[in-house]
Copies of this chain bind each other. A is one copy, B any other.
Amino acid sequence: MTQYSTFDAYFREHRERHLQELTDFLRIPSISALSEHKEDMTTAANWLVDSFKQAGLENVSIDATDGHPVVYGDWLHAEGKPTILVYGHYDVQPVDPLELWETPPFEATVRDNKLYARGASDDKGQVFMHIKAVEALMKSFGKLPVNVKFMIEGEEEVGSPNLEKYIEENKQKLASDIIVISDTGMVGPGKPAVLYGLRGLAGVQIDVKGAKGDLHSGLYGGAVQNALHALAHILGSFRDAEGTIQVEGFYDNVRELSDDERAAFAAIPFDEQQVKDELQVDALFGEKGFTYYEQTWARPTLEVNGMHGGFSGEGIKTVLPNEASAKISCRLVPDQDPDEIVDKLKAHIAKHTLPGVTVEVTEFDKGKPFIAPFDHPAIQAASRSYEKVYETPTSFIRGGGSIPIVAAFDQILQVPVVLMGFGLDTENFHAPNEHFHLENFDQGLRVLADYYFEIEQSL
């Protein structure tokens, strides 16, 4: 049997057990943003420890940070061969609004060959695939063709606030030739892609405070500032009606797309009607003069992620609310600097604060945008492994999301980052009814297993 047919047979034989194990992993509500889930984070980390050991990884440890821990494991017996550092995360997004989930977010359910659960795709499902790729090779061949290190963190969904420090402090332990991450998407069903760019992230919370308490709108209405109006005034000022961001200097350092990049993006199939149908909207919306891929991959954004204040019950309550708050976040592109952007946001908010209220701005953790050369051998190797399994050319794309730590890997460890993901844009990451197409689970396992052999040959 060839190497390929050997691990292919292994994945086939163990599919049921693998899916059952993934279901167990997905059952743990490891929501890093909510402090009430602190214990679940530990449970998820312990689950990984067991899974690492089962796969044959060694030196497995739960490494404490100032936040949720990093789970580490390695196999380093391929002397003279390259070392791959696999990064992923075991934390997941919150699940509200819970009532919109068709099946409970932490009880994984298969419908129509898709696995529905929070984290099914982002990123527990894809982390799981890396572990199982190692397991398949170890059980089939008793060894791996290259050395491998796993570093799975628990704070990606809250901006990886402690990972940079961890990497700085563990440079030697994490030393590797390439970093591989599966936390991104493909171009479409059956269409694999390697990502060479990601957007960064910067966000703030805006808390508006008016009078000492809620007021009767009859008694005070007309003479006292309403915190909700003051907030709406700020939020309404961020973008014009066409979506162009009005924060002074926001676009100053945005790197323009090259003609080659625009051409490459234009070559990727895009069906506007299909996107509209999928999202159930009448119209898309965004900066004029840019295509959909340009808007979502290479242009920065500013989104209100939540805003709350005043009465939310049934019916009417004629109150003049004194408190309101909003969370906003920006997706940033090369060469925007998150710190500079936050300063500009603060200046904009101050400029648009109406009299009669005070506004407090709290910064969230930030992430730099990332861009890499896609002619590196490790990236080309990834495209070959994809093509072997999917039997179609691999696209080289950029991503609209942020993996804040990618830029830090790039800068601290100074090795190439290979972003080879198996998700699809339609899989409701960060939203109710997140799911993962099981054909990409199956094909992805084979791509990852094959990639170890490709790397052995390429580096």
Contacts and interface: CB of A to CB of B under 8 A. Distances in A.
Query: Chain A, interface size: which category?
Result: 35 or more
A243 to B, nearest CB: 7
B319 A311 contact: no
Interface stretch (A133-141, A324-332, A445-453): A324-332
17 contacts: A34-B314, A96-B313, A203-B316, A203-B318, A213-B428, A219-B400, A219-B429, A220-B296, A222-B287, A222-B295, A222-B400, A228-B304, A229-B235, A236-B237, A241-B354, A283-B355, A318-B430
B222 A243 contact: yes
A317 interface: yes
A399 B218 contact: yes
A329 B317 CA distance: 9
B307 A215 contact: no
Nearest to A236: B236
Interface of A: 33-35, 93-94, 96-97, 100, 157-159, 185, 199, 201, 203, 205, 210-226, 228-229, 231-233, 235-239, 241, 243, 278-287, 292, 295-296, 299-301, 303-321, 324, 326-327, 329, 331, 354-358, 364-365, 399-402, 425, 428-433
B309 A306 contact: yes
A353 to B, nearest CB: 10
Nearest to A122: B216
Contacts of A159: 316
A221 B356 contact: no
A429 B217 CA distance: 10
Contact of A279 (B215, B241, B295, B299): B215
A432 B319 CA distance: 11
A354 B285 contact: yes
Contacts of A300: 222
A213 B433 contact: yes
B222 A431 contact: no
B286 A222 contact: yes
Nearest first, the 10 closest Cβ-Cβ pairs linking A and B are A236-B236, A218-B401, A306-B310, A232-B235, A306-B311, A212-B280, A285-B356, A222-B295, A221-B301, A214-B431
Contact of A306 (B228, B280, B430): B228
Given A292-B223, A355-B283, A311 B305 contact: yes
Among A185, A220, A243, the most chain B Cβ lie within 10 Å of the Cβ of A220
A216 B205 CA distance: 18
